[in-house]
Amino acid sequence: MMLTCHEMTELVTDFLERRLAFPRRLSFQLHLTMCRHCRRYVAQLKTVTRTLRFLPVAPIPPDRREELLGQFRGMRRGPGHPGPSPA
Amino acid sequence: MLRQPPGLCSASRRKSWQREDQPIPRQKFVAPDEDSELLKRLLDGDEHAFAELVDRHHGSLIRLARVYVGDSSVAEEVVQETWLAVLRGLGQFQLRSTLKTWIFRILANKGKTRGAREKRFVPFSALAGTGSRESAVDPSRFTRAGAWAAPPSPWDEETPESLLMNQEAISCVEQSLEGLPPGQRAVVLLRDVEGLDPQEICNILEITETNQRVLLHRGRSKIRRAVEEYFGWKKR
């Protein structure tokens, strides 16, 4: 079963997620060996996906962090223990 | 190991979940050791353990909260409420999922509630529109036979490492992510940014696996397209 390039661009996510059944996966890989455009497309999609894993994330503002730690401390013997903390 | 019905020839004796129509089977979940240890420390009242947890997840929670409620300050409220719910619920948490999944699930519930109250939330499954014909790549870039007519061109940065060094490219990725429709944004966030499993994602977002696949596919394709434009790909 020969895949067109257009079909390849629709299957690429399933391929990268290892969701393709063997026959189709084989067709996909075969097409890649023969088509540099699709090779480039898949590589670019892979790059973007891997880059997303390392997006910078904002740390929690210090005052909020303190507030939360205060809540945690206020639970005395540890969170989720039954009963109110002693006065 | 799944039992195969009798009579199947060896050629089709692949795991059933590898067929496209079969869901990936849910294996019995075993919590990672680090989660068990962290939970124990938390229940013992170890403040550093809680600080670790907060530092690790707070930013990610804010990101997902914004998908539900948009505005920054409301998102912060939702996340604060989430942390309080985590504190209250730790004593009953059974490690039937990872701590991370559990926390994100709490956030998703709160986000949904708050989003509904603010009248902004549309169920992600409704946005998946698996019936709709949205194409990952503009169809005009292919010939009628389906071959590339306007193929992708090389990027200045082709590896994640070099891409991450390019501040503008990273901004492009971030903006593109933020500009995705909510369903796609949520799935790309949880799958690619947070590294959660598809099953966990379906659980958190209350969507089907088909939804999840479609949303991930469209979201990723759009972000790739945005980076392509950034690197100056011009339609011939």
pLDDT tens, residue by residue, B61-103: 999 999 999 877 999 999 999 999 999 999 999 988 999 999 9
For A5, which of B63, B146, B227 is closest by C-beta distance? B146
For residue B99, the number of C-alpha atoms closer than 13 Å in the C-beta half-sphere is: 23
Q: What percent of chain A has pLDDT over 90?
A: 82
Q: How confident is the model at residue B234 (pLDDT cuts 50, 70, 90)?
A: low
Query: Other CB atoms closer than 10 Å to residue B108's CB: what's the count?
Result: 24
Burial class for B186, CB neighbours closer than 10 Å (0-12, 13-18, 19+): buried
The yes-or-no verdict on residue B229 having pLDDT over 80 is yes
Q: Are B148 and A22 inside 8 Å of each other by CB?
A: no
**Residue B140: which residues within 8 A CB-CB, separation 6 or more?**
B149, B150
Q: Residue A21 has which token pair?
A: 């059944």
B26 or B154, greater pLDDT = B154
**What confidence score (pLDDT) does residue B31 get?**
74
Q: Are B220 and A48 inside 8 Å of each other by CB?
A: yes
**Residue B18: which residues within 8 A CB-CB, separation 6 or more?**
A21, A22
Substitution target in A60, A65, A69 with the highest count of B β-carbons within 10 Å is: A60
Q: Are B20 and A20 inside 8 Å of each other by CB?
A: yes
ipTM of the complex: 0.87
The yes-or-no verdict on residue A84 having pLDDT over 60 is no
